Homo-oligomer: A and B are copies of this chain.
Amino acid sequence: MIPSGFSFSTANADIDGSSSARDDIGLIYCSTQASLCGVFTKNRVKAAPVLIGMDLVKRGTIRAVLINSGNANACTGEAGVNDARTMMEAIGSRLGIDADEVIPLSTGVIGVRLPVDRILTRLDSLVGSLGDNVEALARAMMTTDTYPKVVSRGVGRASVLGIAKGAGMIAPNMATTLAIVITDAIIERTDLDRTIRDAVKSTFNAITVDGDTSTNDTLLALSSNMVKADLDGVRNTIVEVIRELAMMVVRDGEGASKLIRIDVRGCATEDDAKKVGKTVAESLLVKTAVYGSDPNWGRIMAAIGYSGADIDPADISIHISGHPVVEGGVEAGEFKEGVVKSALEGKEVSIDISTGTGKGAFTIWTTDLTHKYIDINSEYRS
């Protein structure tokens, strides 16, 4: 279900110079002024499209999103900003809108200038082929993703559509994720903004694959405000779509063979729970133990211990996929190694950690660390 007012197209600009047949640029167009909100990477090193996007979000409305994969346009200095502006102007003039009504999104290799000339030759085709092929757009955004990520939900007569890319460098603070949420529901821009900011806390900022935070992370929300719908319903649907996109991204974590959900509770503060969850989620020893279906709970204990959270080891209890593993900081009486090993062999593993009687809790999702992750990230691409 495509939200009213929006259309999509893709083209092949051979951005990475590999002569691949894959489309690598994409356009989202709105037939009316769409309200625009955004959340951007907290990395100090921000890509050119992020610097431009942060400015455009202050304007508050937009007509088009121009996306490319294969090149992040990051660490390219003033030249990179000018490259992005050249494309914004070129697509704007073809669409009959201002350059500042086009927001750019880029993902891919860092430090290489965009092949602007090649992109410019494809813009007519992009504008000429606008239609409803959202999946093609999601594919054109992909880098190491293994599948396109599209979520669609209705809410009354309105609809919410989510599109994302991301598979590596995923970490709290939204590393190399590009996500776009589009709706035709009437919603105040301040409501839309608050909704996406709340949503990312427990979704895109609660997933981690390798702890690396990217230069390009962006989540945009656009509304054409064409359809009246229940506001609470719209808000909830947006949160749900964002959550679903985040889960699709973490499931597609580079080389991942298992999805790991880590629930932490009983901490003095939510911040402590977050520290515990993030440290366990990013421990290479925990991730490799899960990969190897090794019920080595000592690695989880060690990670909790160095998380920086204010905890007493004697208060810790741990369950793996529902099975007791640690009680009072030592091996649980009911611990059955074979049972836990079998549980770890599943595609989805949960680690429940209680560190006491406090009210601080946090849930984080991650993946195991596999040989394939090393393959993907150590392969030299000239």
B interface footprint on A106-122 (CB within 8 Å = 1, 0 otherwise): 00011110000000000
Q: Cβ of A378: which chain B residues have Cβ within 8 Å of it?
A: 288-289, 291-292, 294, 369-370
Q: Are B44 and A305 in contact (CB under 8 A)?
A: yes
B interface footprint on A98-132 (CB within 8 Å = 1, 0 otherwise): 00000000000111100000000000000000000
The 8 Å CB contact of A374, one of B211, B296, B298, B371, is B371
Q: Are B111 and A313 in contact (CB under 8 A)?
A: no
Nearest residue (CB) in B for A213 is: B306
Tally of contact residues, A, Cβ under 8 A: 71
CB proximity of A39 to chain B, nearest CB, Å = 16
B interface footprint on A345-373 (CB within 8 Å = 1, 0 otherwise): 00000000000000000000000011101
Q: Are B374 and A302 in contact (CB under 8 A)?
A: no
Is there a chain B Cβ closer than 8 Å to A186's Cβ? no
CA–CA, A303 and B211, complex, Å: 10
Q: Cβ of A173: which chain B residues have Cβ within 8 Å of it?
A: 306
Q: Are B328 and A77 in contact (CB under 8 A)?
A: yes
Is there a chain B Cβ closer than 8 Å to A381's Cβ? yes
Q: Cβ of A288: which chain B residues have Cβ within 8 Å of it?
A: 373-374, 377-378
Which residues of A, 297-316, contact B by the 8 Å Cβ criterion?
A: 297-299, 301-306, 309, 311-314, 316
B interface footprint on A61-89 (CB within 8 Å = 1, 0 otherwise): 00000000000101111010000000000
CA–CA, A298 and B108, complex, Å: 10
Q: Are A313 and B45 in contact (CB under 8 A)?
A: yes
Q: Are A381 and B294 in contact (CB under 8 A)?
A: yes
Q: Are B301 and A111 in contact (CB under 8 A)?
A: yes
A45-B110 contact, Cβ under 8 Å, with A75-B326, A285-B377, A374-B371: no
CA–CA, A169 and B288, complex, Å: 12
Is there a chain B Cβ closer than 8 Å to A268's Cβ? no
Q: Cβ of A282: which chain B residues have Cβ within 8 Å of it?
A: 211
CA–CA, A75 and B76, complex, Å: 50
What are some 23 contacts across the A-B interface (CB < 8 A)? A42-B306, A44-B305, A44-B312, A45-B305, A45-B313, A74-B301, A75-B330, A76-B330, A110-B298, A110-B301, A111-B298, A112-B331, A169-B302, A212-B284, A215-B298, A284-B284, A289-B378, A291-B374, A292-B379, A294-B378, A294-B379, A341-B380, A369-B374
A215-B298, A215-B305, A337-B382 are known contacts; what are 13 more A-B pairs with Cβ within 8 Å? A45-B316, A75-B330, A110-B299, A110-B301, A168-B285, A211-B282, A211-B283, A212-B299, A213-B306, A291-B374, A292-B379, A371-B374, A373-B374
